[in-house]
Structure 1
Amino acid sequence: MSQLRTVLLTLATLTVLGAVAGFATVLFGLFNTSARSGHWAVTDWAMHTIFENAVALRAPPEAEVPDDLSDPALIELGARHYDSACAMCHATPGTSGGATIAAMVPPPPQIDRAVTPWTAAQMHWIVEAGVKMTGMPAWPAEGRADEVWAVVAFLTAVQRGMTPDDYAAMTAPAAEGYCAGCHGAGGTSRAPRLDILTPDYIADQLAAYRSGARPSGMMAHAAAKVPASGDAELAAALARLEGPAQSVPADPAAGEALAARGNGRVPGCLACHGPDNRNPRIPSLDGQGEAYLVDQLTLWRDGARGGAERAPLMRAAAKGLSDADIAALSAFFAVR
């Protein structure tokens, strides 16, 4: 019994001393936070091992990986966002990030190396969740897995050997300005046409993106580049912007009856978005991109879309739609 008491007393003493040492380290700044000293080798190993295991544990199942990651339009959408929001740390294919980025602790891996060990599902989790203690942020908006998949589509293209010339051609600035890179005539069909929308509606959406009322990591980043006082002027210019070319749906007629049909107290799509719409704050859907409409209707159905004056009505209208219904409606409006 005496020996047990001695062991317990020793453990208690060591615990108290450890707590005092830890408190003193925090209170008196004894731990050197300078990035010049870097991490111990064992710290690097522990952090990277924890990171790898965390990704393996939490990445979505491979069955959830979309089938269209090789879609050039989706790759371009992801590449353009990456070029604006991520390339400053991870550089671009075939280039380095420079001396300042290399001095970070830990340094962000160059993009060609960064994508090497991961599956598409694992990269999705990394981009969406971010990585603590590395400077890698989480995706700026929750519920936008579709946007994250666009970035993953680009990253998988890098894995397949994207060249510097390929990247430069894909992310080349548009003559009409930054927004036209995605929304202009030479942009990506995964971005919406703006020439069929009113300046009032576009200005409303810019404000909603900036405030977070309409969640979007891509558009929150883009909207932050423009002061709120410039929304009206920018919206007027964007409404005149010729939109990207769109593919022609295979079966546009399948959604016609669905677009006209209401659901209880919820009117059919054409009641608000049809040719008789005169409300400048309700978007026209005629001629909008099919893939974009699929994404937006899915977000409405799943409760992840906001930023609209009639958001509750749209959520109710989309709530019961199946994937087949969404595909049919999107094809119908894309060719009207």
Structure 2
Amino acid sequence: MPKGQIAHRHKALFIGIGAVALLLVGAGAGVVLLLSGAYSTAATKQHFGITYRILELGLRYSVASNAEDIVVPDLGRVANVNIGYACYRRYCVQCHGAPGVARDPLGRGQLPSPSSLSESARDWPAAHLFYVTQQGVRMSGMPAWEYRISSEGLWSTVAYLKAMPFMTVAQHRELDESSADETCPAPTAAAAYTRERTQIMFRQYACDNCHIIGGMVGPKTHVGPSLKGWRERKYIAGVLPNTRENLVRWIVAPQDFSPHTMMPDLDVIEPHARQMARYLMTEE
């Protein structure tokens, strides 16, 4: 082999080794920083400027990529701004505020701080707003509303968001009064059963915050009993025979069967409860 080729291969090898070494050093430094406790997780400490810009850039590219197949309907035909504001008033104004309406203390104390949606609604396409409202944003405090608001309610919320930047305070107060009797529609059906979607349901109803659930990654919490091997149980909370139909009834309204149970009513709709029961009854 010619000396030139040998030298070129040696150079490539050294560059590769150097790159791996740099990655290992960087990873090691990150582990040391993490374990030392030097990196503050306090919500009163702002991210570094570069961290903030990278997260913002990553958010925009991620939303654009995931929302590209969303078909935006004719919002003037299928959406209702009054219903959209009813959803916004119930679920969003606490963190984001509205024209002439302050955020609740909950929304003021978060980091990153929830943005004013007047600017986002003006700058972001409707498909992007729908995706973020439906799916949420991980590790930001932005919830996913897919399992609490119907498709009609989500698109109506988008219609409201697109109208909001152009409202005066007086116009917004009129909307608040005219929509006083409106309610935000909840889903009435569930998509076809899949194991993965049902795991999302468990997380969206915060079931894994109290229970260990078979097949799921989550906190190792023992607030409530483990749900692993559920189909082997004889009774549900000691009050109902453990059948799939009884499990559905328990998930929807546990305190109807055991008034002093620590299990709260989580507003689980029956189609979701049926999929949860199916999962638990078939999971090893």
TM-score (norm 2): 0.54
Residue in structure 2 matching 1:135, options 141, 148, 157: 141
Aligned residue in 1 for 2:54: 46
Q: 1:116 and 1:230, CA in 2 relative to 1: closer, same or farther beyond 3 A?
A: farther
What does 1:66-105 align with in structure 2 at a 5 Å threshold? 66-67=73-74, 69-70=75-76, 74-97=80-103, 101-105=107-111
Q: 1:76 and 1:230, CA in 2 relative to 1: closer, same or farther beyond 3 A?
A: farther
Q: Is the 8 A contact 2:122 2:162 kept in 1?
A: no
Aligned residue in 2 for 1:36: 44
Aligned residue in 1 for 2:35: 27
Q: 1:94 and 1:111, CA in 2 relative to 1: closer, same or farther beyond 3 A?
A: farther
Shift in Å at residue 73 of structure 1?
7.2
Aligned residue pair count: 194
Matched residue type, 1:113: E
Deviations 1:80-125 (A, max 9, x none): 1211111100112232315653342221112323312112222111
Q: Is the 8 A contact 2:79 2:155 kept in 1?
A: no
Matched residue type, 1:130: G
Q: Distance in 2 between matches of 1:227 and 1:170?
A: 33
Matched residue type, 2:120: A
Aligned residue in 1 for 2:152: 146
Q: Distance in 1 between matches of 2:86 and 2:105?
A: 24
Aligned residue in 2 for 1:122: 128
Aligned residue in 2 for 1:57: 65
Q: Distance in 2 between matches of 1:52 and 1:71?
A: 28
Structure 1: tracts of 5 or more residues without a match: 175-180, 183-187, 192-211, 221-225, 232-304, 310-336
Shift in Å at residue 42 of structure 1?
1.4
Shift in Å at residue 308 of structure 1?
11
Matched residue type, 1:47: L
TM-score (norm 1): 0.47
How large is the Cα RMSD of the aligned pairs?
4.2
Matched residue type, 1:79: Y
